Amino acid sequence: MTVGRSLQRLANRQKLLCTANQAKLQSFRTAPTYHFGILIPCNHKHAMELDQFYGNNLWRESEVTEWDSIDEYNTFQDVGKGTTPKGYKKIWYHIIYAVKHDLQHKAWLVANGNLTETPLTSVYSSVVSLHGLRLCLFLAELNQPEAWSTDIGNAYLEAYTEEKVYVIAGDEFADQAGHSLIVVKALYGLRSSGL
């Protein structure tokens, strides 16, 4: 009988610990995020509220910069409002916000590529390792050639995607809100974009 009671107490204590851990996880997910002392918005609506609260339009400008580059690269094909493209899978997207070390506000449109099928072919794409970069710079210092570096802005948007997906534009797309947009270019978040 004492064994049964002690097991019951242990089970109750375990339930209490599980509930406490779930509460910690939920508060971690919903807790506000700060970069360099600046509150980071969780979505477009929150970004507009922060702009209004602080009396500026830094988050809106970062979104406009992202939309301009997306338009410049013809990332989407607009098929109209209320249209469902045949043979295409509907996915969602979200906007990632951040503040860089120079306090520049950034916004990235990211597709929820986890909703698509896993490609049968390899989509692995390597990146330069820090060790390899240091080795190259060391050799350049020893042999005295001129070393150059560059960054390709919106590198993903340079390539076309083979994934057949579309999104429904939200309020952040202004004139295109509610339109079905076929993803033509390798948008961040798609499984094959890195390739």
Alpha helices in 84-194 (DSSP H): 130-143
pLDDT at position 22 over 60:
no
pLDDT of residue 192: 72
pLDDT at position 53 over 80:
yes
Residue-wise pLDDT for 140-166, tens only, equals 889 988 888 777 777 777 778 888 889
| Paired tokens of 20 | 């406490």
The CA–CA distances, whole Å, from 193 to 52, 109, 123, 189 equal 35, 13, 8, 7
pLDDT of residue 25: 56
pLDDT at position 176 over 60:
yes
Q: Look at the pTM and tell me if it is higher than 0.95.
A: no
- CA-based max dimension of the chain: 83
Per domain, the residue ranges of the chain are 33-113+154-183
Could you give the CA distance from residue 83 to residue 138 in angstroms, rounded to a whole number? 56
Say what percent of the chain tops pLDDT 70.
79
pLDDT at position 11 over 70:
no
Determine the average pLDDT of the residues in 29-58: 89
pLDDT of residue 23: 55
Could you give the CA distance from residue 185 to residue 165 in angstroms, rounded to a whole number? 11
- Which 3 state secondary structure label does DSSP give 46? helix
pLDDT of residue 15: 62
pLDDT at position 87 over 70:
yes
Residue-wise pLDDT for 57-82, tens only, equals 999 999 999 988 888 888 888 888 88
Could you give the CA distance from residue 48 to residue 32 in angstroms, rounded to a whole number? 16
